Structure 1
């Protein structure tokens, strides 16, 4: 049997669909609700009104759901186990991108046409099941028929099929159109991408056990507010604050002998200071690239910021020595280190709320890397 080249892709879409749809559903429920992925079902929502178990099926376009669709009965198989032990209000939802066939009995439990299930409906369902020869369905049929009639009725009254569910590619726009109305339209894509990246990370942490606390909807709301505030006129998103130094190839900067690295070597700073400065350069440089690429800043704003840095640097430098002084080499080094230390500990903002210090520190090094000597550390005497 040949390997299916699309199997891995389908599996990946399935997992991504779970996480994206869970994010979308979170906007529709109370903020105190808990969201679980791959717990009692694909998605589990614990709300003040009870528990919802969502079984998800992301199917090919134009797929239909019929009486004996394996997708439906595999979900029923899980729900049979759940209903045997329930002690709290619980509902079972099959969210499928397929459409329920008009001729299927499943129409009576489909959102929009759902009605109360009675014993005669169960009798009809069992007759349909008896016609199946599918090896997957047969054991589920026997498991279902072993339930008491009252449990069968209860089970189907708790099931709702949500057919023609939103497809994975349409979820971002749905969230942005309906829940991002307070976010500047120009930046909604940026905000969504950041929020989804954070959400995927949290779900993975939870599923791998590194996050012990449950995923709470109010945390999503708080994160959305935090991200959207970064796109106000007095702020910018900071995306390299959680990067660690061991994730940057420091040696490549040393081996290629960048100009800003040479200037630090002129004042013989410690290796650890040199490494941290390279790290700041890397973060500040790449942060600028992201801002510019997303049209969050202009080259004119960057230039204005750099002029401010140069002006403050010149003011501090000029306070440290006079060109007509006779200064020994050890004194020059001491002055150079003082200027360098000032640059590492001052914070000059490109915008009022952009207070992350690597932006300032790294920007000094970006300027020091330019050949026209806009910034240097070792004093230059006539």
Structure 2
């Protein structure tokens, strides 16, 4: 691998670790910081801030493959981190933000990093100051020269204040253990069942990924603890017995996935009643989302087959009543004996109105408190995609008009 590619991969891995670790930090600290918010790449890699937007703790996250990397007294990680902090105006202010170095490496006894761990049994700020003074004078590394000079320029009191605020949080969680840590923090709110729990954790991760992208892109400045708690409560409600959680969003649907439905029965049904092309595409999205969402729920044991069957029967019954009324109204209004005596434009218009009315209907739901409209709309299209007695349609003569169309079940 070329050096540039290696550096880019390492940088990307570092960002991924940083953002994933921040979720664990947010979950772990939520009860201790109910009025605070977390940020990415504003005050530092990760930071906590109060209601005024002032940083209360700065956290730099370092990912290493080797457990001993980066924490020696002369190592780049130590001096780069100190250098970043020392340029802050509150670096030597006792009331300034706390400072944390989060690293997957493990500090070795006899190093300043080891003495700056939060463990009161080993923490020794004064000894750490002396070790770093010696390293700052003895090291000849150009990469750390500026930070070392800055450290030596500080007075003894300033070095004491600075390092008194520093905590080395070594042995941090590894990337492959993030999901397990998230699950552990969510233990008290997880739904019943292994599949449901895995889906719950995945949804929290997906929410955080979207939030992290917004944070890094500058579309939002911070995430309040209350926002996390509100999302988790809403998510938990979605896993209750009377509702469901939507896991398939419009953004999940790729354009190339939609072309497979161009010649399907339910699309032909809509074309029979001259349904607008723009809405036809939206209908295809609803259909694809609904059948994909149905699969997710069934696979995760969040929905039972008997519930799905009952829902389909209710949708079919609702359609049968409305369809019969449409035929009756058509014949009556035209003063005709049968549909053959009514012109095609009138029949198509009546079918389009039936389609619109049922797609707007919220009378039938899969569960009492689940009302995301895409699912019922998509399931109506799925029923319109079936042939025979299980199928439904919109045009008054849909059955005879679609005899040449190959049904897709």
Q: Quote the Cα distance in structure 2 between the aligned partners of 1:11 and 1:292.
A: 39
Unaligned runs of 5+ in 2: 401-409
1:319 is displaced (CA, Å) by: 2.5
Post-superposition Cα deviations, 1:122-144, rounded to whole Å, max 9, x if no partner, equal: 34432233222222223322111
1:342 is displaced (CA, Å) by: 2.5
Partner of 2:201: 192
Equivalent of 2:392 in 359, 364, 375: 375
Partner of 1:340: 355
Unaligned runs of 5+ in 1: none
Post-superposition Cα deviations, 1:199-250, rounded to whole Å, max 9, x if no partner, equal: 2212221222223x532111011111111211112111113455499x6459
Which sits farther off after the overlay, 366-375 or 48-57?
Answer: 48-57
The alpha-carbon distance between structure 1 residues 249 and 96, as it changes in their structure 2 partners (threshold 3 A), is closer
Equivalent of 2:295 in 289, 293, 297: 289
Post-superposition Cα deviations, 1:341-362, rounded to whole Å, max 9, x if no partner, equal: 2221212101112211111111
Does the 8 A contact of 1:50 with 1:88 survive in 2?
no
Instruction: Tell me if 1:221 matches 2:229.
Output: yes
Instruction: Tell me if 1:174 matches 2:209.
Output: no
Instruction: Tell me if 1:56 matches 2:90.
Output: no
Partner of 2:242: 234
Specify the SS of the correspondent of 1:173: helix
Instruction: Tell me if 1:97 matches 2:104.
Output: yes
Instruction: Tell me if 1:305 matches 2:317.
Output: no
The alpha-carbon distance between structure 1 residues 3 and 223, as it changes in their structure 2 partners (threshold 3 A), is same
1:173 is displaced (CA, Å) by: 1.3
Q: Quote the Cα distance in structure 2 between the aligned partners of 1:87 and 1:104.
A: 24
What is the number of residues matched between the two proteins?
378
Specify the SS of the correspondent of 1:44: strand
Does the 8 A contact of 2:48 with 2:58 survive in 1?
yes
- Structure 2 matches for 1:8-157, cutoff 5 A? 8-27=8-27, 28=29, 29-47=32-50, 51-64=56-69, 65-82=71-88, 83-84=90-91, 86=93, 88-112=95-119, 113-115=121-123, 117-118=125-126, 122-157=129-164
RMSD: 2.8
Does the 8 A contact of 2:316 with 2:392 survive in 1?
yes
1:325 is displaced (CA, Å) by: 4.1
Equivalent of 2:282 in 264, 276, 282: 276
Equivalent of 1:266 in 249, 252, 272: 272
Does the 8 A contact of 1:253 with 1:261 survive in 2?
no
1:193 is displaced (CA, Å) by: 1.5
Does the 8 A contact of 2:113 with 2:128 survive in 1?
no
1:90 is displaced (CA, Å) by: 1.5
1:198 is displaced (CA, Å) by: 1.6
Partner of 1:206: 215
Does the 8 A contact of 2:60 with 2:101 survive in 1?
yes
Does the 8 A contact of 2:242 with 2:367 survive in 1?
yes
Q: Quote the Cα distance in structure 1 between the aligned partners of 2:2 and 2:353.
A: 69
The alpha-carbon distance between structure 1 residues 50 and 203, as it changes in their structure 2 partners (threshold 3 A), is closer
The alpha-carbon distance between structure 1 residues 8 and 124, as it changes in their structure 2 partners (threshold 3 A), is closer
Does the 8 A contact of 2:101 with 2:166 survive in 1?
yes
Q: Quote the Cα distance in structure 2 between the aligned partners of 1:121 and 1:219.
A: 39
Does the 8 A contact of 2:100 with 2:166 survive in 1?
yes
Which sits farther off after the overlay, 84-93 or 34-43?
Answer: 84-93
Does the 8 A contact of 2:38 with 2:224 survive in 1?
yes
